[in-house]
Structure 1
Amino acid sequence: MFRQVLLGRLSPRMLPLVAVVLLQRKDRKDTGLYHWRREKHPYYNFTVKILRARNIKGTDLLSEADCYVELRLPTASPIIYRTQVIDNSSDPEWNETFQYRIHNAAKNILELALFDKDVLISDELTSVVFDVAGVEPGRPLKNTFRLKEDKEELDVEFFLEKSLDAPGEVITNRVLVAYPCLRLQGVINKDEKSKLREQGSGQLKFSLPGAYEKQLSIPCKSDSDLNSGIPFVFHVGKEMCSKLDVEMERTITVLQDGVSPDFEKHSTNLGSGTVLLKSLPLGKEVDVTVPLGKRLQVGLRMKAEEMTGDLDVRLGFDLCKEERRFLDKRKEIVSQALKKALRLREDPSKDEVPVVAVLGSGGGMRALTAFYGSLFGLQKLNLLDSVTYLSGISGSTWCMSILYQDSEWSWKDLRGAIDNAQDKMSSSKVGAFSSERLKYYFQELNAMENAGRKVSFTDLWGLIVEYFLQQKEDQSKLSDQQEAVKEGRNPYPIYAAVNVRPNVSGDDFAEWCEFTPYEVGFRKYGAFVRTEDFDSEFFMGRLIKKHPEPKICYLQGMWGSAFAASLDDVFLKVVGSGLSFLESLGDVVKVIDDRRRFHFRDPMRLKTRLVIPGGPLLQIFQDFFKSRVTAGETFNFMQGLFLHRDYISLNRFVISKDTHLDAFPNKLTPMEENLYLVDGGFSINSPFPLMLQPERDVDVILSFNYSWEAPFEVLQLTEKYCEDRAIPFPQITFNKEDEENPKEFYIFMDAKNPKAPIILHFPLVNDTFQKYKAPGIERELEEEKAFGDFEIGAKDSPYRTLNFTYESHEFDRLVELSCYNVLNNKDAILEALHLALSRRKQKNRTSVLP
């Protein structure tokens, strides 16, 4: 049967290649480090001189432009510098010089933005994104950047020279760079209290540019407040050469109308001063007197120390030690299961055991229900123990998260778990909106907010999902599932989400984030945190403020955040196309130079890009149509890390496209304060990207697609995703008949390249199930025929994505259909496992040849 399926479903061009599938796998080249390491890189002094601009057309039609230039180099300074404003001139001349001290480990990208200053606002005319790697040390470089039109130009002179400072050490995985982090602690010196008492009620404000803590305030109302020694703490990069700003304010309360109980508070700045961090000896507590002006000063007792030891964010691309330990134990179980299922004479060795992954797509309760059936089918075939990884999106993650509450779930008859799920699915969901339940939601979210956590609509949705799935409070956490995998008894669960931008389509930019019982992280960046620490606050790879691990219901809301769609996403899914008119309003990105222009050519240098802002209506329309007000906002554990100077050498990034954010390191996720995690279905409605990581080395993927339209869309999108990143993946070919009337099962493989996994794809269709109640057993009774006679995607279908309640028979037949589609393709699945096992054996034989 398998050969018939294979010959019937493979593209004609692949048929002659089937005989050569036993090829040696070669290690995939990747310059990223599996483990972090310490590196020393030199410092450079970088000088930027803004000379002049020519033929600038401003936004005011009644006068010439009032131009100034802003400079931003975040890897060297948190401060945005700007030139003076040259009034009423289309040919402004500045000749202003700016100095930076840069570290050569980071990708140093200078942004120059030209503005036209109006009375009320300043309009950005254009900006230049320039890679400092294009400047040769010791040789001045004068460059003329052509702006909007050929006649509009900006002249800038650059000079780079090696610093006399000793090289600085960083921690890196060759994608991210962690600079040394300073912790600055201080208190008001009580010996100086008399200097402040005379000023009355007020507060001292402390701010440190580039620090994680934006601003801290200490009230100064009386002597007792000053004696209390209220501390302040800042975390900042040691390389930023920052200064602590101190400001004294007095607050005055003014009664309105003289008799009204209403009042207003007015603040008056009494004075300000600064403390240079360079002046503080590391590791020593010192007393510092800060003059604030007007005979006012404040005494501070301060201590600056460098944070040492390993980072709290794991940098590296290897699997975590717990997952590697799991794999070692799981291979023993898989080996025994394959011997039984494939009727082998002996257990395959650990090195010969193929890695099998089962993927469940999104689809709300339809996906949850059908995934139960698919897994039940694998269990009936005695193949569930052959699975190494189990991964899902949206509704499939709901199924998984319930199953893994039982640490022995895959060793028990799944009928019990299915019956329990049926009880919940068939019950009314009205109770989710009862006054008692709403009060519970409010208390939970209010407690989160009071604890300093970020709260969004997705968190409320998670509490509602908690009721839909279990109809009770669930205190379990994702890390609790460690019990289910530590001995390798169940497949390793991987839950998927994507990080998006609030005003960017998921089709344009989405970064895959994986959630496992041990770690949460981005394999794109090689950055992971312990699952227990997810949603805590990190900076520069250090844990700054620990929050309790969120309950799993909040993750369920995020993983299945169907309401995080923007209006543009809705148009794309419902109408078939997005709001294309927004593209005409968007920013225009142009490459304005090539490598031949520079006498110093660094192969890792990014091309200079010119960004022309969109029309004046862009922000208004983007905020309305593309914003994701319901995205799950959480603390970014990569905040404060920078991109490595050679990050573009990795194929994990899409650098070839001029407009892709991967080519703009200053705009990538490590530079953001927050993550916006949503349902992975807004990118690809199946977690293929998490399984196609070379570290997991997956041989066979069973893809269960629970969408009732576009049965091959997830495969096509995955193929494009892999093409952009040079990831081995078979070509997806099908005909019009397959698209309009898909079959139960398809196989895709690349006989030329055995590094590409074998894909077994199961669309959600009711095909032969209508006639057969089990493989080879026809339906005879009328009630049996009626049970199998239904259309999943009918207009009045109960399986709509936003329907959360099924009748018992509706739930049963969807489970049985999914189970049947697996059982009916038993021979094809077994033959694919035979093929994967042969590939592994061939790889081992060729690897030991001299």
Structure 2
Amino acid sequence: MFRQVLLSRLPPRMLPLVAAVLLERKERKETGFYHWRREKHPYYNLTVKILRARNIKGTDFLSKADCFVELRLPTASPLTYRTRVIDNSSDPEWNETFQYRIHNAVKNILELTLFDEDVLMSDELTSVVFDVTGMKPGHRLKHTFKLKEDKEELDVEFFLEKSTNAPGEVITNGALVAYPCLCLQGVINKDEKSTVREQGSSHFKLSLPGAYEKQLCIPCKSDSDQGCGIPFVFHVGQEMCAELDIELEQTITVLQDGVSPDFEKHSTVLGSGIVPLQSLPLGKEVDMAVSLGKGLSVDLHVKAEQIAKDLDVRLGFDLCKEEREFLDQRKEIVSRALKKTLKLREDLSKDEVPVIAVLGSGGGMRALTSFYGSLFGLQQLNLLDGITYVSGISGSTWCMSMLYQDSEWSCKDLRGSISNARDKMSSSKVGAFSSERLKYYFQELNAMENAGRKVSFTDLWGLIVEYFLQQKEDQSKLSDQQEAVKRGQNPYPIYAAVNVRPNVSGDDFAEWCEFTPYEVGFRKYGAFVKTENFDSEFFMGRLIKKHPEPRICYLQGMWGSAFAASLDDVFLKVVGSGLSFLESLGDVVKVIDDCRRFHFRDPMRLKTRLVIPGGPLIQIFQDFFKSRVTAGETFNFMQGLYLHRDYVSLNKFVVWKGTHLDAFPNMLTPVEENLYLVDGGFSINSPFPVVVHPERDVDVILSFNYSWEAPFEVLELTQRYCKEREIPFPQIILKKEDEENPKECYMFMDAENPKAPIVLHFPLVNDTFHKYKAPGLERESEEEKSFGDFVIEEKDSPYRTLNFTFESQDFDKLVELSSYNVVNNKDAVFKALNLALSRRKQKRR
């Protein structure tokens, strides 16, 4: 009605414009791009003149520095430029000028690095980063960079002027920017008139700086052939003004001493040429002869065209269409469940239904087992249908992935699922390291690598987890779990991991990545891909090469990759006293470096292992593990996207900390080729960051902590995480006795800020369970007392983190304890839900 009244009052000339805006919104809603927009920004020509440096001290104490400066501006050019070297001078002067064309939509950060040239390797003396954003066009800016406290300085002159090029359009969500992408396709043929008389094989090397594809090598056929006729493809940003470089190279094999089987290969560049992409008409096929010099040339048949299809990466901070559809269906189920359980008099409207999230922490099989118990406790309170989200990391994800194999799991009595899990947990795990199983592992890994996937020890660990959990091959994938949520019949699962950087502690830099049945992505960047496309190759927001979706066991290995750091210990714990197995394994696994210098929480601290087994597995092991490092990697689906010029205004980035990587856009994830996804426990040992963001509008968080120690650490770390990003979260205030002797349940809330979730936190403790077999019902017989009288964290506890096999009774104890702790705190749970209902109703008013 309001829209109709508004339209009726608009002048006729405005109606077409309004209709176009409404149509655009409708189109965005249908495609799922809710927060992206098209923006046009001007181009500018940036001139950088490196003038001089003063008081420079080199690394050689016997002489003065031999200085040069490198310039890097990756948002404008893929190339690194450098000045000439000024020999033996403390005050080098260059007066060299460099030109860039920059686009005003992105955060243009120029890096200037001062080097002291050496014969073997140039030493980096210092580096500065300069934000071009604040410069005024038409004004010359001379800036002196203070390099060190002892009066070392670098003088640079900048000049920015508006380009004559028309403004360029980009797609952006305010954090990331997607440029238009060009696809260059062609066929290269050697000119019939030119011959290569030298003996040996010749080939063409093709490279396009800034393109997704690396250097391509195309072998030439014999001179009698018409040419190579082999196609090539490059993908590159339209903004890069790139040039296709073509080299004709000849390789000659020389035998040593004429008879020795040893040989050397010598390569010689016979000629080279370039093809500027700007010289090619877009969308048209072109035949051309490219001179390589020295009487050589090649015939090219090429076509450059802009990729017109929509982005394959969803740019937006809102929930995806499928998750919002799930919420609409789930709210009806939650409304009925809460009305019945809380004995409400009236039905809840959709706006009044609170969003409740259940979180499971890490902790290996202890977490898996306990999470079963916690969920069973919620079912006993008739609250499982009142839950909207279930999220976990590490061992809790193993529990979730087993449950979601049944598309109706929460609608059934969980005792059946728990009994099945007991059988798996209490069975021997030694078979995971049998020769037949090892052969299966490496055949699987070799097949993955041959298919173009990046493979690491984390994937090996995933196959081991598959055996631990299933004792058989599990062909299921994460996207299969769409069946479990398409009618809203179960809570929505969110699996969490963190993206880290090599040689940077997870405490200092970790970006949370969420995995759901429909999408995988980073809410920090507002970038998501369809789950079935995870681990495929993307560039500039476009799908370049589709790989099969990985089986869920590989995700399980990555979600719980903290254990991959201790594979030797896992073997020892699983095999037990079977030292002969470890001795034979010693012939298989060789540690070839020492990782003690790395930070304990650094996920890249794994040792490099060289695998050379004996027996029939030798070739498989050698082929797969030779010279392989242990870092887990996957293709970065954000590669080729840039940070928006105003990304610093988003509270999802911690840029106010000058040393945080968020303040260095040239070092952030979009510029990386790979993601390094690891166990979320390397950052916060509970998946709070994936549910506290306002997009999910969570009212109540039931946090289950299964860590061996520090029962409140996840709350304190989450509080800091939220404070840094201005996310509402209650203040965590604890007494000393709580730290020393934690109770079963704690409630935290911010009475003055209804946007902050109410947090119910359940440490894994045996507080009253040892005395009561049910709330208010004491244990009487000696058997009952013995069942409940145990200490979870004692030295010889069966629940140690590296223990992957529980006795049936130990499994039952932990499940019943976790369930009891929920049921015994029914009043606290119901109080939190009623408070959430009250808040929702106040919001509606």
Is the aligned partner of 1:116 residue 2:85?
no
> How do residues 826-845 of structure 1 correspond to structure 2 at under 5 angstroms?
826-845=826-845
2: CA distance between counterparts of 1:397 and 1:563?
A: 14
Matched with 2:558 is 558
Aligned to 1:588: none
CA contact (8 A) 1:37 1:173 kept: yes
Mapped partners of 2:491, 2:600: distance in 1: 42
Contact 1:56 1:90 (C-alpha < 8 Å) held by counterparts: yes
Contact 1:68 1:85 in 2 (8 A): yes
The CA deviation string for residues 522-551 of structure 1, in whole angstroms up to 9 with x for no partner, is 000000000000000000001000000000
Secondary structure, in 3 states, of the residue corresponding to 1:257?
helix
Distance 1:232 1:119, change over 3 A: same
**Number of the residue aligned with 1:271:** 271
In structure 2, what is the Cα distance between the partners aligned to 1:758 and 1:683?
22
Check whether the contact 2:189–2:228 (CA below 8 A) recurs between aligned residues.
no
Mapped to 2, the partners of 1:166 and 1:726 lie a distance apart of 39
**Code of the aligned partner of 2:297:** Q
Contact 2:188 / 2:229 at 8 angstroms: preserved in 1? Answer: yes
Task: Name the structure 1 match of 2:657.
Answer: 657
Q: Which residue is 1:35 aligned to?
A: 35
Q: Does 1:164 align with 2:140?
A: no
Matches within 5 A, 1:312-331: 312-331=312-331
Q: Which runs of 5+ in 1 are unaligned?
A: 1-32, 568-618, 846-850
For residue 195 of structure 1, report the CA deviation from its aligned partner. Answer: 2.2
Q: 1:79 is matched by which residue type in structure 2?
A: L
Residue aligning to 2:311: 311
Kept after mapping to 1: 8 A contact 2:708/2:801: no
Contact 2:598 2:605 in 1 (8 A): no
User: Quick check: 2:505–2:599 contact (8 Å CA) kept in 1?
Assistant: no
- RCO higher in 1 or 2 (8 Å CA, sep ≥ 6)? 1
1:240 correspondence with 2:240: yes
- Residue 505 of structure 2 contacts residue 601 of structure 2 at CA under 8 Å; is this kept in 1? no
Q: Which residue of 2 aligns with 1:154?
A: 154
- 1:826: how far off? 0.7
Once the two structures are TM-superposed, the CA of residue 498 in structure 1 deviates from its matched residue by 0.1
CA distance in 2, matches of 1:748, 1:624: 31
Compute the displacement of 1:193 (Å).
Answer: 3.9
- In structure 2, the residue corresponding to 1:780 is in which secondary structure? coil
Amino acid at match of 1:664: F
| Deviation larger for 831-840 or 529-538 | 831-840
Residue by residue over 1:418-457, the C-alpha shift from the partner in whole angstroms, topping out at 9 and shown as x without a partner, is 0111111101101000111011001100001111110010
Partner in structure 2 of residue 26 of structure 1: none
Matched with 1:735 is 735
Q: Which residue of 1 aligns with 2:287?
A: 287
Which string of whole-angstrom CA distances, capped at 9 and with x for unpartnered residues, describes residues 140-177 of structure 1? 00001111124111000000001111000000001000
Shift of 1:223: 5.6
**Offset at residue 470 of structure 1 (A):** 0.5
Percent identity over paired residues = 82
Partner amino acid for 1:101?
R
Write the distance in 2 (CA, Å) between the matches of 1:634 and 1:386.
36
Q: Quickly say closer, same or farther: Cα 1:463–1:703, change in 2 above 3 A.
A: same
Correspondence list, 1:200-599, <5 A: 201-222=201-222, 227=227, 229-563=229-563
In the TM superposition, residue 43 of structure 1 has moved relative to its aligned partner by 0.2
- AA partner of residue 692 (structure 1): V
Write out per-residue CA displacement over residues 208-245 of structure 1, whole angstroms, 9 at most, x where no aligned residue. 10000110011113268755621000000000001010
Cα-Cα RMSD: 1.7
Aligned partner of 1:756: which letter?
A
SS at match of 2:415: helix
Question: Would you say the 8 A contact 2:220–2:227 is kept in 1?
Answer: no
1:794 aligns with 2:798: no
What are the Cα deviations for residues 348-367 of structure 1, in whole angstroms up to 9, with x where unaligned?
A: 11110000000000000000
TM-aligned CA deviation for residue 260 of structure 1: 2.5
Aligned length: 761
Name the residue aligned to 1:723: 723
Distance between the aligned counterparts of 1:247 and 1:513, measured in 2?
A: 42
On the 8 A contact 1:566/1:628 being kept in 2, the answer is: no
CA shift for structure 1 position 261 = 3.0
Q: SS state of the match for residue 246, structure 1?
A: strand
One-letter code of the match for 1:272?
Answer: S
SS in 2 for 1:58: coil
Distance 1:77 1:497 in 2: 33
String of CA shifts for 1:552-581, please: whole Å, max 9, x gaps.
0000000000146599xxxxxxxxxxxxxx
Q: Quote the Cα distance in structure 2 between the aligned partners of 1:802 and 1:492.
A: 29
Q: Which residue of 1 aligns with 2:782?
A: 782
Say whether 1:181 aligns with 2:181.
yes
**Contact 2:494 2:514 survives alignment (8 Å):** yes
Offset of residue 291 of structure 1: 1.1
Q: Which residue of 2 aligns with 1:680?
A: 680
What residue number does 1:646 align with?
A: 646
CA distance in 1, matches of 2:146, 2:323: 52
TM-score, length of structure 1 as denominator length: 0.88
Q: What is aligned with 1:64? A: 64
* CA displacement at 1:842 relative to structure 2: 1.1
Shift of 1:63: 0.2
Shift of 1:198: 4.6
Give the superposition deviation at 1:289.
1.3
Deviation at 1:337, TM superposition (A): 0.2
Is 2:697 the partner of 1:697? yes
Separation in 2, partners of 1:221, 1:278: 30
Structure 1 contact 110–132 (Cα < 8 Å) conserved: yes
Q: State the alpha-carbon separation in 1 of the partners of residues 192 and 550 from structure 2.
A: 43
Amino acid at match of 1:341: T
Indicate conservation of the 8 Å contact 1:219/1:225, yes or no. Answer: no
Instruction: Judge conservation of contact 1:75–1:108 (CA < 8 Å) in 2.
Output: yes
Secondary structure, in 3 states, of the residue corresponding to 2:695?
A: coil
Tell me the amino acid that sits aligned with residue 412 of structure 2.
K
* More divergent stretch after superposition (745-754 vs 289-298): 289-298
Distance, in Å, in 1 between the alignment partners of 2:233 and 2:371 is 49
Q: Distance in 2 between matches of 1:622 and 1:135?
A: 41
Q: Judging changes above 3 Å, is the alpha-carbon distance between structure 1 residues 327 and 105 closer, same or farther for their aligned structure 2 residues?
A: same
- The answer to which of 218-227 and 255-264 deviates more is 218-227
Paired residue type of 2:380 = K
Task: Give the alignment of 1:610-649 within 5 angstroms.
Answer: 627-629=604-606, 630-649=630-649
- Cα distance 1:665–1:248, how it changes in 2: closer, same or farther (>3 A)? same
Contact persistence 2:404–2:484 (CA under 8 A): yes
How far is the alpha carbon of 1:253 from its aligned partner?
1.6
2: CA distance, partners of 1:469 / 1:625:
26
Q: Distance between the aligned counterparts of 2:225 and 2:455, measured in 1? A: 32
3-state DSSP class of the match of 1:210? coil
C-alpha distance in structure 2 between counterparts of 1:102 and 1:474, whole Å: 50
Matches within 5 A, 1:748-787: 748-787=748-787
Give the Cα–Cα distance (whole angstroms) in 2 for the partners of residues 431 and 226 of structure 1: 58
1:187 touches 1:301 (CA, 8 Å); kept in 2? yes
The one-letter code of the counterpart of 1:279 is S
Distance in structure 2 (CA, Å) of the matches to 1:430 and 1:408: 32
Preserved contact between residue 145 and residue 153 of structure 2 (Cα < 8 Å): yes
Write the distance in 2 (CA, Å) between the matches of 1:802 and 1:229: 57
Seen in structure 2, the aligned counterparts of structure 1 residues 158 and 350 have a Cα distance that, compared at 3 Å, is same
Q: Which amino acid aligns with 2:755?
A: K
Unaligned runs of 5+ in 2: 1-32, 568-594, 607-629
Query: What is the deviation of 1:740?
Result: 0.7
Deviations 1:48-72 (A, max 9, x none): 0000000000000000000000000
2:221·2:228 contact (CA, 8 Å) conserved in 1?
no
Whether contact under 8 Å (1:202, 1:219) holds in the other structure is yes
Q: So what's the TM-score if we normalise by structure 2?
A: 0.88
Q: What is the Cα deviation at residue 250 of structure 1?
A: 1.0
1:538·1:639 contact (CA, 8 Å) conserved in 2? yes
> For the residues of structure 2 that align with 1:166 and 1:259, how far apart are their CA atoms?
65
Opposite residue 194 of structure 2, the aligned amino acid is K
Residues in 2 aligned to 1:621 and 1:144: alpha-carbon distance in whole angstroms: 38
Q: CA deviation at 1:268?
A: 1.4
Q: What corresponds to 2:97 in structure 1?
A: 97
1:75 shift after superposition: 0.3
Q: Report the AA paired with residue 451 of structure 2.
A: A
Amino acid corresponding to residue 765 of structure 1 in structure 2? V
CA shift in 2, pair 1:484/1:56, >3 Å: same
